[in-house]
Structure 1
Amino acid sequence: MVSQFSSDAAAALDREVELEAERGSFAEDISSYYELSRCSEWIKLGRFTKVALQFPDHLLTHSVQIATTLSQQNNQCKIYVLGDTSYGSCCVDEVAAEHIGADGIIHFGHACLTATKRIPVLYIFGREVIDPEKCISAFKELFSDQLSHILVMYDVRYSHVIESLCEALRNDYTNLTVTSLNIPTLCCGCHQTGRSCTEDCGDCVSSDMQENDTSHGKDSITPSCQCGQSMDSKEQCKLGRCYTLSAPIEEYSIFYIGSEGRALSNIIINYHTCKCCSYNPSTNMYRKESTFINKTLGRRYYLMQKARAARTVGILAGTLATAGYREIIDRLKSLLSSVGKKYYVIVVGKLNVAKLANFMEMDVYVLVACPESSLIDNQEFYKPVVTPYEMELACSKSTEWGACYFTDYQELLPGGASHELLKDITKQDNDIPEFSFITGHMQSSNAATIESTVEGQIVKRSEQLQLTSYSTAAEYLQFRSWQGLEQQLGKTPVSKAVEGRSGTASGYTHEPDT
C-alpha cells in the first residue's frame, strides 16, 4: 500500500538512476573538472569578501574539497556552501546567498541560464567527458542529408568541446548552425572572462565608473547597467541559447547533445515544430524524439482547458530571484481579475504534493518559475499546475493554441515575442458562452461578475442569472476538517528550560545500564 505522499521503491530507484546519469563521469582531478583556478581568479578580481558556493544535491559530495581549496587560495574571502536551494537547483539561489550577506555566487553544475538581478554570479558547469568520434558517427546516422538545416544544441556541461566537435562537421554540412550559451550577467560578462570592464567594454560602464573608477575591483565588474552581451540584430536568444538562422525555424532539425532530462524536454516542447534528435554521451545512445512531443502537447492542452474552467487560481511563486518574476505575477493578477477569476499568491518554496494539498479550495495553480522548472508532472498533484503562457491562453479568446509555445514567462512581458497588451486579451464579449471540454456544458469565459457586499462576502452573477453567495477564504477555512498547526497563543503555560536527554539512541545517559 503506497500513500499519496510517499514514493514506492521503484520510483526511488528510478530517481537514483537519473541522478547517476546527471553525475556523469568525473575526472579524477576535481580542480580541473570544476576550473578552480578560474574560480580563484574571479574571487580575486572581484575583491569579494563572502562567496557562496551553490551545488545541486548530487554534487554536494565534492563541496568540502572545493570549499577548502578555494579558502586556502583566497584567505581574504569567506567561503560558504549552500546545501539546499530554496527552489530549483538549476537557478541561482540569491535568497539563500543573501542570508549570509554574500557578495558573489559560484554556481556549480547544470544551469537553466535565467537572468538574476542582485548578486554577481560565476557559472561552473563542469567539463564533462564526451567521445567525439561516437558523437560524430551518431550525427551522421541521424542526418543523412548533408544539405538539411540543422541546429545544434547541448547540455551546458559539454560547452567546452562543442566548437571543436562541430568544426569537424562543417565541411560536410554547410547549413549547420551551432548555438552559443547566453550566460546571464550583471554587466557585459567581464567577470566571466576575467576582463576589466573599464578597459574593454566602455558601453557597459556607468558614467560614475568611467570618471572615478579605473581599478579592477568589485565595482568594475558590477556596473549599474544590465545590458547583457551585445548581439547581432539577426541573432535570436531563447532558453539561454543564441543562434542566427539562415532559414525559418520550421525548416530546421535539432540535434541535442546531453542526457535525458528537463533541459531536453524543455527544448523539445518549445521547438515542437522542428524534428528533434538527441545523443547521450554517457551511454552513447541516440534516437529521434517523436512520440514525446505529441503526448506532452496533448496533455498541456488539456490542462489549459482545465485552467479556462477554473474559478479560483493559486499563483505559485516558484522563484524569488529570477528577473521579471514580480512583473509576471502582477500581470497574472491583473489578467485574472479582468476575467473574474479569484486568485491567491502562494510562496511555498520547492513544490511537492503535500504542500499543495493544503489548498484544496484552488481549482488550478499557475507556476511562476524558470523555463525548466515550469513543466510539472501534474499527475502527482490533486490540482493541475499550468504555466503563465497556458493561463494567458485560458483567459483569452483572441489568442489561440497554435504553432508557438513558450515556457519562459519573459516572452509574455513587454519586449517578449508573445507579449500582448492586457486590454487586447480581455477585449471580448464575455456574455457569449462557449463549450467547455472539461465540464461538457456551455459556459462564459468570464468566471463571474464579482462584487463585494457589505457583509464581506463574495457575490456573483451565475450563468442562470441568479445571485449566488460565496464565503470568503477565512470562512472556508473555518469549516475545513484540518486547519494546520494551531499555535495556542496564551493557552500554553510558560515553563523554565530544562536539560534534555543526551547520549545515543542505543543508550541515553539517564537510562540504567543493562
Structure 2
Amino acid sequence: MRHLAGLLFVCRLTGVLVSILADVAYGACCVDDFTARALSADFLVHYGHSCLVPIDVTAGVRTLYVFVDIQIDVGHFVDTLQTNFEHGKRLSLLGTVQFLSALQVAVKHLSDRFHVSAPQQLPLSPGEVLGCTSPFLGKAADTDAIIFLGDGRFHLESVMISNPDVPAYRYDPFMKTLFRESYEHEAMLAARTAAVHQAAKATRWGLIQGTLGRQGSPNVFKYLEEQLEAKGLDFVTVLMSEIFPQKLALFPDIEVWVQVACPRLSIDWGSAFEKPLLTPYEAAVALEVVSWQTPYPMDFYSIRPLGPWAPRHPQHQPQQTKHSRDTRGCSARSEIPLTPQTDSSPSSTQPCSLIPSCSKGSSSSAL
C-alpha cells in the first residue's frame, strides 16, 4: 500500500487521472491490460507479480511491473538447511517471486556444502514457481530434496505434483520453521482420471474462456474447439471471469466442462462441481488427442510444454519477438544480485530446533 500511496501522490501532482482496478488478481496471469485498454488508459501498473505477460505483448498499453522483494533472514534459512541435511545432498531450491533474491543468495552460500541449484522452467526466473507451472526435476535419484522458500503450500503443491517421488520441504521465512510436506497424489490422480473417463462418454460439452486478466488463452480455446468439431461433438462456448459451481449449474444440459483459465481450479476444486470440470490437458486426453502423462504435467505457461493444451506451445506461437521474455525471463530480473541480506530480528542467528517426531495425519510437519 505504501507504493500505491506514493504513486497516487505523484499522479495528483502531475494531474494524471488514475483508475484503480479492483478486480481480484490471483497471480501473474491476472495482469489486466485488456481492461486498461478498454478504459483508454495510457499506462498500466501491475504490482506484486513477475512479468508472465511480457511488456511487448500487452494490449497496446505500456505496462510497468512492480516486483515485491521481501527481505528475510537468509542466514537463518541457510543455517536451518545445514542443520537438517547431510553434507553433499542434492537440493533443489524453489520459491515464489517475492523471495527469489533471498533464494539466490542462499544458493551461493550453500554451494560449498551441498549440490544445490535453482531449477528454471522458462519463461520463469531461476527458482520461480507458479501454481500451474513448475520444473520437472528428472528422476527421483537426481534430487534428494525439494526446498521451497515461501509462506504457503499452493505453489509448492505445483512442484510436488510435477515431482511426486522427490521429498519436499518448505521453509516458512516468517515462522522461521522448516516443514516436511506431503501431497495426496493417489487421491488427486484418481479424481482427475475419473473426471476424464466420465468426460470421454459425454456428447454435450461446454468450453469456458476465462476472462480474468490474461488467464484465458484464445489459441488454446480455438484448439479445443477444433478438436471437438473433429469429433463431431456438440458444444457451447461461455466467457466467464470467475468460475463457480452455481454459475455452471445454470447449464443443466452440459455433460462436461473444459475451462481455459486456471488448471488448479480443476485439480484442487473439481470435486465441488456437479459435472466434470477439465483442464485443457485433461480435455485432450478425454478426446484421445494425447495419452495420459506421468507425472501429471504442470507446464501451462512453459515455453516447452508437452502438448498444445498450453498457451506457449509452438503451434500457438508462430513467431517469437526478439526481446520476448520467453527466452530470457523478466528483463528486470535477468540477473539477481547476490548481496548478503540481514535481518534485525533478535532470533536471526538461532538455528532451527529439531523435533524428533512428526504429527500423524498432517500434510505439514515441523522439523
For the criterion TM > 0.5, the same-fold answer is yes
SS of equivalent residue, structure 1 residue 81: coil
Match of 2:291 in 1: 399
Equivalenced residue count is 307
SS of equivalent residue, structure 2 residue 19: strand
Whose relative contact order is higher, 1 or 2, with alpha carbons under 8 Å and at least 6 apart? 2
**Following TM superposition, by how much is the alpha carbon of 1:96 offset from its aligned partner in structure 2, in angstroms?**
2.0
Taking a change above 3 Å as real, the CA distance of residues 355 and 407 of structure 1, as seen in their structure-2 partners, is: farther
Q: Distance in 2 between matches of 1:236 and 1:89?
A: 17
SS of equivalent residue, structure 1 residue 346: strand
Match of 1:95 in 2: 34
Match of 2:156 in 1: 264
**Following TM superposition, by how much is the alpha carbon of 1:142 offset from its aligned partner in structure 2, in angstroms?**
4.9
Q: Distance in 1 between matches of 2:106 and 2:19?
A: 36
SS of equivalent residue, structure 2 residue 18: strand
**Aligned 1:73-472 pairs, distance under 5 A:** 75=14, 77-85=16-24, 88-90=26-28, 91-110=30-49, 113-114=52-53, 117-118=58-59, 119-144=61-86, 146-173=87-114, 175-179=115-119, 239=130, 251-252=142-143, 253-319=145-211, 322=214, 325-370=217-262, 375-396=267-288, 399-406=291-298, 408=300, 411=305, 412-413=307-308
What's the CA shift string for 1:115-138, capped at 9, x where partnerless? 564234332232324222332243
Contact 2:11 2:17 in 1 (8 A): yes
Taking a change above 3 Å as real, the CA distance of residues 79 and 359 of structure 1, as seen in their structure-2 partners, is: same
Taking a change above 3 Å as real, the CA distance of residues 82 and 320 of structure 1, as seen in their structure-2 partners, is: closer
Q: Distance in 2 between matches of 1:350 and 1:312?
A: 22
SS of equivalent residue, structure 1 residue 159: helix
Q: Distance in 2 between matches of 1:321 and 1:304?
A: 27
Percent identical pairs in the alignment equals: 21
Q: 1:127 is aligned with what amino acid?
A: D
Q: 2:93 is aligned with what amino acid?
A: V
Q: Distance in 1 between matches of 2:99 and 2:62?
A: 23
Structural RMSD (CA): 3.8
**Following TM superposition, by how much is the alpha carbon of 1:339 offset from its aligned partner in structure 2, in angstroms?**
2.6
Q: 1:68 is aligned with what amino acid?
A: L
Contact 1:236 1:242 in 2 (8 A): no
**Following TM superposition, by how much is the alpha carbon of 1:182 offset from its aligned partner in structure 2, in angstroms?**
5.9
What's the CA shift string for 1:181-217, capped at 9, x where partnerless? 9678xxxxxxxxxxxxxxxxxxxxxxxxxxxxxxxxx
Under a length normalisation based on structure 1, what TM-score does the superposition of the two structures give?
0.51
Contact 2:245 2:274 in 1 (8 A): yes
**Which stretch of structure 1 is more off in the superposition, 355-364 or 410-419?**
410-419
Match of 2:334 in 1: none
Greater C-alpha radius of gyration: 1
Unaligned runs of 5+ in 2: 317-367
Q: Distance in 1 between matches of 2:247 and 2:127?
A: 38
Q: Distance in 2 between matches of 1:314 and 1:95?
A: 24
Q: 2:37 is aligned with what amino acid?
A: E
Q: Distance in 2 between matches of 1:136 and 1:345?
A: 50
Taking a change above 3 Å as real, the CA distance of residues 398 and 155 of structure 1, as seen in their structure-2 partners, is: closer
**Aligned 1:28-67 pairs, distance under 5 A:** 31=2, 34=3, 63=4, 65-67=5-7
Match of 1:488 in 2: none
Q: Distance in 2 between matches of 1:409 and 1:181?
A: 9
Taking a change above 3 Å as real, the CA distance of residues 170 and 318 of structure 1, as seen in their structure-2 partners, is: same
Taking a change above 3 Å as real, the CA distance of residues 152 and 98 of structure 1, as seen in their structure-2 partners, is: same
Contact 1:270 1:406 in 2 (8 A): yes
